[in-house]
């Protein structure tokens, strides 16, 4: 559901903020050393990370409650079957977000001086905790409910990170995201009774927000979730640069409602014709970069590369969609 996806992106903002905190040097070390993981448990780093994380997590929960749940009645715990909603792009969003949150937690644990084994387990627990909070908000809201599928994808994203660290002490397969806000037509759309008017712009403003930031976070027609494979890690004899990846992406088009392109306003019902606005599923193949594989001794650059690694780089891409059509993109954003 949209609430889970928005909250997920708030965690991305939270993560970026925590990484930013590590750029601020303390009074005893220089910035370079401060950014590197500690060899032993560092109490001051722990307090910094714990305080910042607690404040931001609490603010996120309070803000989410006011923004999304306050207008709906509370209920007893109940389930909600949202499989197929938004062509399951929200599910891939859960997968990506839980992966990202688990990695972020792991990097934080290593930064404060916790050993690798403990960091993996702590990160897995924290990653699931962040996402489970949202699932239980949904479970007690009459508008939504607890989604078993959301929870399964949360566990899957955490598992993808955890298992790779256990097997390889490395992330050979990374989950990434790309999104580029789209422009929608202001042309008039008539209601089913031909008495009221709307437009795609009006509909998407209601669904996805009106500013660049909201559109980037919430527009399912613009988002793609990627699984990025490090070629050199799997085929070292190929002599491919260690930072070069190949990525498979999943996206969708013509989504103007959760399950269908029909929506209600106060006075009318609107339905978009399927032949004009087919709800397409799209798959992509494109090159990518694993920034963590770029060798550098500069801790500031390493921090920057950690942030950039959340996102799939713009690149040429091949597209195949659910209408069995192929398309070439010179630059896919």
Cα–Cα distance measured from residue 309 to residue 85, given in angstroms and rounded to the nearest whole number: 28
- Counting Cα atoms < 13 Å in the Cβ hemisphere of 271 gives 6
Cα–Cα distance measured from residue 32 to residue 18, given in angstroms and rounded to the nearest whole number: 16
Both tokens assigned to 239? 């002599």
Contacts of 240 (CB under 8 A, 6+ apart): 231, 232
Q: Does 99 score more than 90 pLDDT?
A: yes
What pLDDT is attached to residue 11? 46
Among 2-11, 177-186, 231-240, 273-282, the minimum mean pLDDT is found in: 2-11
Both tokens assigned to 123? 């990160």
Q: In the chain, which residue ranges form alpha helices assigned H by DSSP?
A: 2-21, 31-35, 43-64, 89-111, 116-139, 148-168, 200-208, 212-218, 231-234, 299-308
Share of the chain above pLDDT 70, in %: 88
Residue 82 Cα to chain centre, angstroms: 18
Cα–Cα distance measured from residue 220 to residue 256, given in angstroms and rounded to the nearest whole number: 9
Q: CA torsion angle for 216, 220, 224, 226 (degrees, to 10)?
A: 110
Look over the chain and give the mean of its residue pLDDT values, rounded to a whole number: 87
What pLDDT is attached to residue 70? 66
Both tokens assigned to 144? 């939504």
In which element (H, E) is residue 43 found? helix 43-64
* SS3 category, 116: helix
- The answer to whether 196 and 267 have CB atoms below 8 angstroms apart is yes
User: pLDDT tens digit string along 238-256?
Assistant: 889 999 999 999 999 999 9
Where residue 180 falls among pLDDT bands split at 50, 70, 90?
confident
What does the pLDDT average to over 57-74? 72
Question: 189 pairs with which residues across the strands?
Answer: 198
237 DSSP 8-state letter? G
Question: 328 pairs with which residues across the strands?
Answer: 318
What does the pLDDT average to over 214-236? 92
The values of phi and psi at residue 280, to 5°, are: -85, 145
Residue 36 Cα to chain centre, angstroms: 26
Residue 10 Cα to chain centre, angstroms: 9
- The answer to whether 82 and 3 have CB atoms below 8 angstroms apart is no
User: pLDDT tens digit string along 5-34?
Assistant: 444 444 444 454 444 444 444 444 456 677
Q: Does 281 score more than 90 pLDDT?
A: yes
What pLDDT is attached to residue 67? 57
What pLDDT is attached to residue 319? 98
User: pLDDT tens digit string along 100-153?
Assistant: 999 999 999 999 999 999 999 999 999 999 888 888 888 888 878 899 999 999
What pLDDT is attached to residue 23? 41
Strand-pair category, 315-321 with 280-289: antiparallel
Residue that is written with structure tokens 């002490």 in the block: 169
Does the pTM of the predicted model rise above 0.85?
yes
Q: Does 272 score more than 70 pLDDT?
A: yes
Q: Closest by alpha carbon to 109, among 101, 120, 99, 98?
A: 120
């Amino acid at each position: 559901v949209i609430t889970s996806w928005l909250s997920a992106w708030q965690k991305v903002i939270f993560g970026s903020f925590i990484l930013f905190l590590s750029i601020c040097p303390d009074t005893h070390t220089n910035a370079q050393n401060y950014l590197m993981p500690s060899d032993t448990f560092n109490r001051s780093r722990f307090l910094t990370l714990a305080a910042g994380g607690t404040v931001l997590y609490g603010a996120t929960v309070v803000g989410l409650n006011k923004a999304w749940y306050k207008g709906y009645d509370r209920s007893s715990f109940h389930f909600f079957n949202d499989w197929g909603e938004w062509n399951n792009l929200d599910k891939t969003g859960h997968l990506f977000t839980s992966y990202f949150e688990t990695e972020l937690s792991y990097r934080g644990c290593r930064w404060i001086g916790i050993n690798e084994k403990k960091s993996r387990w702590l990160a897995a627990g924290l990653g699931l905790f962040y996402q489970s909070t949202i699932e239980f908000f949904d479970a007690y809201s009459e508008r939504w409910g607890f989604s078993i599928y959301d929870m399964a994808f949360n566990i899957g994203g955490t598992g993808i990170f955890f298992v790779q660290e256990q097997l390889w002490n490395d992330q050979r397969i990374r989950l990434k995201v790309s999104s580029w806000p789209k422009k929608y037509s202001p042309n008039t759309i008539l209601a089913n009774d031909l008495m009221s008017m709307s437009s795609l712009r009006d509909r998407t403003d209601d669904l996805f927000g009106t500013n660049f930031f909201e559109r980037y976070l919430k527009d399912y027609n613009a988002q793609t979730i990627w699984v990025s494979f490090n070629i050199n890690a799997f085929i070292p004899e190929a002599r491919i640069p260690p930072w070069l990846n190949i990525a498979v992406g999943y996206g969708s088009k013509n989504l103007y409602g959760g399950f269908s392109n029909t929506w209600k306003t106060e006075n009318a019902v609107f339905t978009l014709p399927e032949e004009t606005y087919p709800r397409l599923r799209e798959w992509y193949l494109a090159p990518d970069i694993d920034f963590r594989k770029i060798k550098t001794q500069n801790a500031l650059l390493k921090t920057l590369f950690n942030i950039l690694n959340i996102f799939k780089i713009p690149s040429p891409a091949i597209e195949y969609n659910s209408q069995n059509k192929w398309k070439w993109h010179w630059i896919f954003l």
